[in-house]
Structure 1
């Protein structure tokens, strides 16, 4: 490896080093990352016998989590790459259900740096270097299946240097408008950039713009759409149980009933099952039931005592929260603790949540993109909400609420990965009088 003025050793040092490598945090494009990937040998052979790539505005994380859980329940060795993380960078790379340890990630970053400086130096963003490290870890893990989550967009996202055997688009909505714009048809084309010629494209929403299917058709990619080639329906008389119908690649139908509610969107569960069938997995009912009954995903409608944590940061995600947020017990108040980035549709999120939340605590997020609590407060008041407190940080917002909560109060903490991460990193108060666990606690 060429000499550096500074040689990182720990994972923390590597992550700090990565932040200095490129003049901007996000720069879409595949030329630089592909060149380094070729030097690393990542493009000379598949990173796994099968690769599933997941793109979309919302639902990527839950779809990936269910693909992973169901495949592992059938004995497959699965590796996943996701972003962002909540508490530890290691969350981004998982092998056989376990987070990558520091040593493996450090080895990966050493490989990236060696290739980056081989010959003419190539500049990489933090995300690009992390993606190459993650792909190297997966390529060396002797997997049956690799599942990759697109970071931003699709066509020009670093993950898209890998050819997907099965490509999923979950939903299309406005987000990252500074990079993807506001035209849903164009956003759809960007997400559909992960499709490949003659390889299955799975469309996981009833409301995708026509541009997504058009991109698949232009590539002659077999298209499997929710509500057409695969579907789900509630089972009559069976509380929370549902039935899935899908298609094998040869057109043969497959049906699995008596499936449990995974606590995640059923559209995404159905999409995960269809994708695995196309990947060649023979689904067994009992294994699917076990996998969906035990799947967990931090920060997605995650309950900790009276706190519901959800990373939703656009109106489409907020709509799901509104539909699934249970009412607090009688006499309790539904609070909202919100912290957002200023490049999101703040008004759209607040307007959507306002139908269920009238009492708010606003928190500031740090960094150039962080929105100040005072700005959030003005937006909420404009939509008719009551703001009780503005805090300098999510932690400070929790501290204030700790003095206010009663046993029957509930709190939705939302608006950003950063907001939820801050709350997950600390104990959360259960109220002025502790919950006794006899039914007050909602799961």
Structure 2
């Protein structure tokens, strides 16, 4: 770790606000993503960071946020004091941390950043941390101090070397596994699965809700001696258009209403949630009524979120081929719309061709947008990549400087019976939600 030690800068002004701290964190480390547990674990030891409640860690390519939200909703309904850490955020950094169901305040976070900095620079040598490592430590310390009954932690990237994996999961959940972040996690599902399997612990349950997981996940569970709960073998669901049921080891739920989160894929996520709660029932017992209430009340902005009004507006942070395929299926199931308009912004390193090809047949008018991060593909580049694969002559495309401007253009062109879908990066959907939930009849969104 020698290369990550540095002498503390004397007389450096201390950040005062949360935004000050976030700006400061961005400047500390030479690269934005530097995977590994050595640095963050060393600072965590200096801080004395520890939890005295069960920890659930959730990894996967898609479905992590939905899984965390459903776990939280059910456990809240069961009367437990919950803490949740997810990333990234849509609009405000504080969204990354919820305590007892409520988003924490900036004022709650600021002292925790100061504690991380004090530990990071103590003992005469400062340990360099990435933005994600520093902010993760601040949030984890807040959660550790909050006298909680259970903590739910979402993996940021991968699993084995992700910051939250310095903690031992009492129950691990691995959702769908697909191709994303391949420059860090490997070129295929087997490699990516191996990285995500790193959150497993010996003798502890690991719930794999991917119906067809890579063999590397199954093999790693056996190698470390984890208690594998596999979709289709240890738990499963059945249902019709009215209700669904779940069966797992020693437990059944019948006559469940569909989760409040929309999309057919949510039943797979919900099945993994019920398996995790069943695996932890000795420590965190929940009633069938808590399950029903939690699933009926769960909320998660930006996941196939349908905004009431005319035209219909759909927001979804689908930003890889697997999630775009799920979005396409969900859009197809909505029924007929005369015209579908799509606002799209994405990172430059995404596998854009299969994403655009998959959803392309449903889209009649494209509105490509720039995003406020250097990692993003420009609107012009997105349009060029779309043109390279387009097969329809009746589709139009324009470019815009921001998601809000792109949405305004779509609203101006749309009839009341049309549909507008905003998808791609968190920056794209967050750019629409930054002024609150949009109302398409509002003056600032009118043509």
- Identify whether the pair has TM-score above 0.5, normalized to the shorter chain: yes
Q: What pairs up with 1:312-391 in 2 under 5 angstroms?
A: 312-326=318-332, 332-381=338-387, 382-384=389-391, 386-391=395-400
Aligned equivalents of 1:110 and 1:4: distance in 2? 15
User: For the residues of structure 1 that align with 2:337 and 2:317, how far apart are their CA atoms?
Assistant: 27
Give distance in 2, aligned partners of 1:424 and 1:48: 36
Offset from partner CA, 1:215-238 (integer Å, 9 cap, x none): 011011110001110111104xxx
Mapped to 2, the partners of 1:258 and 1:2 lie a distance apart of 62
Corresponding residue for residue 261 of structure 1: 258
* CA drift at 1:283: 3.1
Which residue of structure 2 aligns with residue 250 of structure 1? none
Structure 2 residue aligned with 1:192:
197
Q: Distance in 2 between matches of 1:102 and 1:226?
A: 39
Q: What does the per-residue CA deviation read over 1:146-199, in whole Å, with 9 as the maximum and x for residues that have no partner?
A: 000000010001110000000111011111122112221111010000001111
TM alignment of 1:5-404, pairs within 5 A: 5-42=12-49, 45=50, 47-119=51-123, 120-235=125-240, 239-247=241-249, 253-262=250-259, 263-264=261-262, 265-280=266-281, 281-305=284-308, 306-326=312-332, 332-381=338-387, 382-384=389-391, 386-404=395-413
Return the TM-score normalized by structure 1.
Answer: 0.92
CA distance in 2, matches of 1:173, 1:313: 12
Residues 403, 431 of structure 1: 8 Å contact kept: no
Q: Residue 17 of structure 2 contacts residue 110 of structure 2 at CA under 8 Å; is this kept in 1?
A: yes
Decide which moves more: 30-39 or 6-15: 6-15
Please tell me whether residue 412 in structure 1 is matched to residue 421 in structure 2: yes
> Structure 2 vs 1, CA of residues 2 and 135 (structure 1 numbering), >3 Å: closer, same or farther?
farther
Contact 2:341 2:410 in 1 (8 A): no
SS at match of 1:354: helix
CA contact (8 A) 2:186 2:192 kept: yes
Cα separation, 2, equivalents of 1:202 and 1:389: 44
Count residues in correspondence: 422
Is residue 329–residue 408 contact of structure 1 (8 Å, CA) maintained in 2? no
Distance 1:431 1:362, change over 3 A: farther
Query: Larger deviation: 254-263 or 365-374?
Result: 365-374
- 1:325 is paired with a residue whose SS is helix
Structure 2: runs of 5 or more not aligned: 1-7
Once the two structures are TM-superposed, the CA of residue 432 in structure 1 deviates from its matched residue by: 11
Divergent runs of 4+, >6 A: none
Aligned to 2:3: none
CA displacement at 1:332 relative to structure 2: 2.5
Shift of 1:384: 2.2
Q: Secondary structure at the match of 1:406?
A: coil
Aligned residue for 1:58, secondary structure, equals coil
1:231-282, Cα deviation, whole Å (9 max, x unpaired):
11104xxx331001112xxxxx100111111124111011011111212233
Deviates more, 1:328-337 or 1:7-16: 328-337
The residue matched to 2:328 in structure 1 has which SS?
Answer: helix
